[in-house]
Amino acid sequence: MKKRPGLIQRIRMGFTFAYLILLLPVLVISMAVIMLLSLGRLRVFGTRWVGYILGKTSLAVAGVKVREVYHEGKKPEGPAIFLINHSSTLDMFAILAMDLPRARHIAKKEIQYNPFFWMLAKLTGQIMIDRKDPRGAMEQLDQVYRDIRRNRNSIMFAPEGTRSRTGKIGPFKMGAFHAAIELGYPIVPIYIEGAYELCPGGSLITLPGTITGHFHPAIDTSSWDRKTARKKMPEIRTMYQKWAGELEEPETDSSDGDEALRTEMGR
């Protein structure tokens, strides 16, 4: 049975919302000043630090810590397609707190209904698409891919397309896999553990605790075509289901090594 938030947690969430209401306009103004004074040349710097501050401090006020585990031994540096499972409002804040290198996020156009989030997204170069207009979204993404490739940026995708209301891994969409082919980027799977337990589905009430981002080895896509991507997509989704404990994972001799890495990273 899930622990229900008590009065203290609800009061804490009230402080968190108040903090966000105050923080967002400050970040928008700060980013606008950085862009204006540098004539746009410091966008990468501003985007990185504005995102990190938004994610890290908002979670801290809510009593949530973020931990990172690198199953390949180090954080990826080059441009990549980052994939995350999406089951909580906290996922996006956690990803911002993890400070993915030069990452741009695919956001729903509906973000415009929050003017501060919309302005911040525009100033930091995030990608907003209208999912109700698939053809228009694809044309927009063609231009986006050219800009992404030229600037050697990465893209963060939630391949489920929307938050899972049950915490289970939902069906994957092809967008991230098409992007990997178009850009020639590797896919870096990130499994977010613990966010659903603290703030499930569409809830805004958050329990204190820890979210862990598991960075798994990059998947080379350099030889992929669309047929290959359609074959690989369910295989990668199965990986997420195993990490989530939804499927039994066969025992391997490397389990001791993985456990040692988790222990080392947790020190």
Q: What digits encode the pLDDT tens for the residues 114-149?
A: 788 889 988 998 888 776 776 766 777 778 888 899
Positions in the chain whose pLDDT score sits under 50:
1, 252, 254-267
Task: Identify the domain containing residue 60 by its residue range.
Answer: 7-265
Instruction: Tell whether 34 is covered by a domain.
Output: yes
Identify the pLDDT of residue 265: 41
CATH code at position 234: 3.40.1130
Q: Can you read off the two tokens belonging to residue 138?
A: 């694809």
Q: Is 113 helix (H, G, I), strand (E, B) or coil?
A: helix
Q: Can you read off the two tokens belonging to residue 99?
A: 């400070």
Instruction: Tell whether 115 is covered by a domain.
Output: yes
**Can you name the residues that pair with 211 across neighbouring β-strands?**
66
Cα separation, 8 vs 11, whole angstroms: 5
Query: What is the count of structural domains for the chain?
Result: 1
Closest CA to 61 of 17, 31, 30: 17
Instruction: Tell whether 2 is covered by a domain.
Output: no
Instruction: Tell whether 1 is covered by a domain.
Output: no
Instruction: Tell whether 97 is covered by a domain.
Output: yes
- Between helix 43-61 and helix 90-98 the angle, nearest 10°, is 130
Q: Is 164 helix (H, G, I), strand (E, B) or coil?
A: coil
Helix then strand count (H, E) for the chain reads 9, 7
Instruction: Tell whether 65 is covered by a domain.
Output: yes
